[in-house]
């Protein structure tokens, strides 16, 4: 049975590290769109403040390891040296079941979050780095689009010239004017 006296929920005090970490991540994501320099600055901010935040949260777990006297064993031939457990020794502090479950739940949640987030992030960011060239769409001559009028346009594949519709298009399929 576990000792309920040491089974207190872990709650760190208020800190600004999570806010700075979030700013670093936002700067990193913004830098992916704007420039690599901004992305690098955001990555550095996110890593530095992420480490500082992790150190702050684990402060009470990182206590100094207590000094433990090495165990001495009596020689089997000497009947006078009988080793008895002294009642003054304090038991070593261990992790309670709730702390283990808390840490394992957080670890599994982080792993599942990474598994879900990384493909979505890849599909979101990757197309901006592929060199896909868009084809041109022919809308016909500029005279088909008078200034100040609403015109419904049909996109056509270019044939020979840039932006010119194919010559075999029926007049009904050409851009229509709405009066």
pLDDT attached to residue 129: 76
- Cα torsion 106, 40, 125, 17 to 10°: value is 30
CB 165 within 8 A of CB 138: yes
Parts of the chain with a pLDDT under 70: 1-12, 75-88, 92, 131-132, 134-137, 156-179
Instruction: Record the tokens describing residue 99, joined without a space.
Output: 């702390």
pLDDT attached to residue 87: 58
pTM: 0.35
DSSP lists the bridge partners of residue 156 as 138
> Tokens 């979050």 belong to which residue?
113
Environment class of residue 49 by beta-carbon count within 10 Å: exposed (0-12), middle (13-18) or buried (19+)? Answer: buried
pLDDT attached to residue 97: 85
How far is Cα 51 from Cα 57, in angstroms, rounded to an integer? 10
For residue 110, CA distances in Å to 5, 31, 81, 114 come to 29, 24, 53, 6
Q: What is the pLDDT of residues 126-167, one digit of tens each?
A: 877 776 676 666 777 888 888 888 888 777 665 555 545 555
Q: What is the DSSP letter of 138?
A: B
Backbone angles phi, psi at 151, to 5 degrees: -130, 130
pLDDT attached to residue 81: 44
């Amino acid at each position: 049975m576990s000792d309920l006296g040491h089974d207190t929920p872990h709650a760190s005090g208020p800190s600004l590290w999570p806010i700075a970490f979030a700013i670093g991540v936002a700067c990193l994501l913004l830098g992916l769109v704007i420039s690599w320099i901004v992305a690098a600055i955001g990555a550095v901010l996110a890593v530095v403040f992420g480490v500082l935040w992790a150190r702050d949260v684990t402060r009470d777990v990182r206590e100094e390891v207590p000094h433990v006297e090495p165990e001495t064993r009596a020689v089997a031939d000497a009947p006078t040296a009988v080793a008895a457990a002294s009642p003054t020794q304090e038991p070593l502090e261990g992790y309670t079941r709730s702390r283990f479950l808390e840490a394992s739940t957080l670890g599994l949640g982080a792993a599942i979050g990474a598994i879900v987030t990384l493909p979505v992030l890849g599909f979101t960011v990757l197309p901006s780095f592929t060199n896909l060239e868009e084809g041109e769409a022919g809308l016909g001559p500029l005279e088909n689009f008078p200034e100040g009028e609403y015109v419904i346009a049909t996109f056509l594949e270019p044939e020979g010239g840039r932006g010119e519709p194919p010559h075999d298009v029926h007049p009904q399929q050409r851009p229509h004017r709405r009066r």
